[in-house]
Amino acid sequence: MNKKVLIIYTGGTIGMAVDPDTNALVPFDFEKISRKVPELKKFDFGINSISFNPIVDSSEMSPEIWGKLVKIIEENYSSYDGFVVLHGTDTMAYTASALSFMLHNLQKPVILTGSQLPLGAIRTDGKENLLTALEIAAAHKNGQALVPEVCIYFQDKLFRGNRTTKYNAEHFRAFRSDNYPPLAEVGLHIKYNYPYIRYTTLNGTFSVSTRMDNNISLLKIFPGINEHVVRSVLDAPGIRGVVLETYGSGNAPTSQWFMKALRDAIDRGVVIINVTQCLAGDVEMWRYETGRHLLNMGVVSGYDITTEAALTKLMFLLGNSTSMDELKMNLNRSLKGEIKSVNS
């Protein structure tokens, strides 16, 4: 029986075409995608598509839209062997991270991709991104999907979704994964890096979680940051979690007012997770005295997690944990390969 892959178009540059009358970019009908990409007819597997209506600019992405997306995957899970999600690049890493936590016992590929130029443009990168993402989504061996993970494919690299960050707004190579190797590299052939691919061993059937608590914030430390700024974040009404972007391996100021602001928030039950501002490397709060102060007061280490994954993981755990102890335990564990294996 032939494999089948479902394309889910949420929005983004890849699905745009130039209107010949106005010269403006407008979304094209994905039911007629084979007219734009005739190479699709050469695949030996079936391809269907679903489009969001209305489509969503990626800068409008939200937990509610992630919930809609995972429900589409859930409703079609038994009918398809893989999924390709077409998405705007600006928040693609956030969506890929969120989906990795929201999809449970995933045994099929969910590949996010997009493009820097519209699919209808002469020099578009969208065609290769789409074709390769589809090929990876359909790839099986001995009845097992080769990459049963939420991933991002872009410009000859397949990355684990929750390890990925957009770093370039202009070049075709828009994404990078500095703390984890590519799951596949694409040239004349697709070379899969099997030791780095996550094959779940969990028992149970596929399921989804749609509860995400977005009562969180991001606090980026910078030289000269003042108490009013810090307090405005930590003391915001209803705040339950904060991702603290610190220097280097997890260092922050040791000013008395700063430490008190953090301690006051933690005493109120606010969860604070420490991530590094650096693109590569990880948090090691035990290494320097400034980091040890944070560790001793109860700030949770994010290890080598990306900011995108930290934010979405915190949303997921706040929405699905039964206790603060469970939440903090899971922050320190690798749930979906988002951090190096610490206590996992």
pLDDT, tens only, 35-84: 778 888 889 999 999 999 888 989 999 999 999 999 999 999 999 999 99
Res. 16 pLDDT band, cuts 50 70 90: confident
Number of other CB atoms surrounding residue 256 within 10 Å: 8
Chain segment 164-180, per-residue pLDDT in tens: 999 988 888 889 999 99
Q: Which two tokens stand for residue 316?
A: 């997921």
Percent of the chain with pLDDT over 90: 75
Chain segment 254-281, per-residue pLDDT in tens: 999 999 999 999 999 999 999 999 989 9
Q: Which residues in 193-226 are b (16+ Cβ under 10 Å) and which e?
A: eeeebbeeeeeeeeebebebbbebbebebeeeee
Question: For 275, which DSSP code?
Answer: E
Indicate whether 331 pLDDT > 90: yes
Among 13, 124, 306, 307, the one annotated catalytic: 13
- Please give the pLDDT value at position 203: 67
Res. 344 pLDDT band, cuts 50 70 90: very low
Indicate whether 181 pLDDT > 60: yes
- Please give the pLDDT value at position 276: 96
Res. 126 pLDDT band, cuts 50 70 90: confident
Q: Is 13 a catalytic residue?
A: yes
Indicate whether 244 pLDDT > 50: yes
